[in-house]
């Protein structure tokens, strides 16, 4: 039985990571980052490996040539191996944005942003899965910036981008600390939901809570807006309860002052464990000279994504909205 390209790549990523994990006595995800770097560089960099282990790895690496695989095949295989590693060593901050959501992000960026060359920022880049999914579905020249506080995730993102040959600048730091990056045209993000523990740092934000911890997802929105050009677009995966929390009043005021809500797409509940964890895609545009709001925001309740007929109806509705509203791009 013939295996798919994704299965071929998965097997090599998985087997070589297991070999490195056993010899170096490290975690599976750390070993995966190491083997990914070996594949990208075409050489084995772990000097502490035994000669026998090096030969085993070389035999596996000889089975594939990265040039014959598409970026999406590489991304999907790499993603599946990361998911395997995360299931073995579950950590609350190690989560991955689903493929279907990434593809929707790519579709929306393509629709809203007209310029061919742009800079894109993801302040919660994680393993780089959302970012590279978007890059793979855009016909544009993009320089990307990713930030994450987790050093293992940022290493996995680094290897992920290299294997797919995407030019991405990565910063391993707290995304809510000062960032020394030039303003971007587009910001994306699967927002980390919860409380931000650093109250002193949070006080630098308009959306900080006066008493107790501030919502990290609110601060991530504000930080993204800060680093986006006037007229630039922001695309966020948000909890459906974003505008219903006890801190929602401050968020409404912040939006009124700084951004225009261009759209809200509610994802099907079936994608999530229950309605309390359901999410939507929020599309914002930063205010600026000449930036006008749409006649009405794009409001969509997405059907189950496997329902082709209903999805076609929604896409026709969205195309009509774009024709009628013609978002102003910068």
pLDDT digits (tens, 9 = 90+) for 280-312: 999 999 999 989 999 899 999 998 877 888 888
pTM above 0.85, yes or no: yes
Considering the domain architecture, whether residues 270 and 298 belong to the same structural domain is answered as yes
Give the end of a domain, one of 88, 123, 150. 88
Tokens of 239: 């909890």
Q: Check pLDDT > 70 for residue 176.
A: yes
Distance CA 106, CA 233 (A): 13
pLDDT in the model for residue 87: 82
Q: Which of 56, 88, 120 is the last residue of a domain?
A: 88
Is residue 34 classed exposed, middle or buried when 0-12, 13-18 and 19+ CB atoms within 10 A define those classes? buried
SS3 149: coil
Residue ending a domain, among 50, 67, 88, is: 88
Range of the domain at 207: 99-325
Closest C-alpha among 81, 59, 101 to residue 6:
81
Taking only the tens place, the pLDDT of each residue in 54-70 is 999 999 999 888 999 99
Do 261 and 309 reside in the same domain of the chain?
Answer: yes
What integer pLDDT is reported at residue 307 of this predicted model?
82
Distance between CA atoms of residues 128 and 75, nearest Å: 9
24 and 66 both lie in a single domain: yes
Q: Structural domain tally of the chain?
A: 2
Residues 73 and 154 both lie in one domain: no
């Amino acid at each position: 039985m013939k295996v798919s390209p994704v299965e071929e790549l998965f097997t090599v990523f998985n087997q070589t990571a297991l070999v490195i994990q056993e010899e170096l006595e490290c975690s599976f995800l750390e070993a995966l980052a190491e083997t990914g770097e070996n594949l990208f560089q075409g050489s084995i960099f772990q000097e502490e490996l035994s000669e026998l282990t090096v030969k085993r790895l070389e035999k596996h690496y000889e089975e594939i040539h990265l040039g014959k695989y598409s970026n999406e095949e590489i991304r999907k295989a790499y993603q599946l191996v990361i998911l395997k590693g995360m299931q073995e060593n579950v950590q609350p901050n190690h989560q991955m944005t689903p493929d279907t959501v990434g593809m929707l992000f790519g579709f929306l960026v393509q629709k809203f942003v007209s310029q061919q060359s742009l800079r894109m920022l993801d302040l919660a880049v994680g393993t780089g899965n959302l970012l590279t999914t978007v890059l793979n579905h855009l016909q544009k020249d993009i320089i990307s910036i990713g930030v994450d506080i987790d050093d293992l995730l940022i290493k996995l993102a680094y290897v992920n981008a290299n294997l797919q040959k995407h030019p991405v600048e990565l910063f391993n730091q707290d995304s809510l600390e000062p960032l020394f990056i030039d303003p971007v045209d587009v910001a994306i993000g699967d927002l980390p939901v919860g409380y931000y523990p650093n109250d002193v740092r949070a006080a630098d934000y308009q959306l900080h809570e006066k008493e107790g911890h501030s919502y990290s997802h609110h601060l991530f929105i504000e930080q993204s807006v800060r680093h986006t050009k006037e007229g630039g677009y922001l695309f966020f995966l948000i909890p459906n309860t974003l505008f219903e929390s006890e801190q929602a009043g401050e968020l409404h005021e912040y939006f009124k002052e700084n951004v225009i809500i261009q759209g809200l797409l509610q994802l099907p509940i079936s994608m999530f464990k229950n309605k309390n964890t359901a999410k939507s895609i929020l599309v914002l545009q930063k205010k600026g000279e000449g930036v006008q709001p749409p006649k009405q925001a794009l409001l969509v309740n997405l059907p189950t994504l496997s329902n082709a007929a209903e999805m076609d109806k929604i896409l026709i509705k969205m195309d009509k909205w774009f024709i009628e509203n013609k978002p102003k791009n910068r």
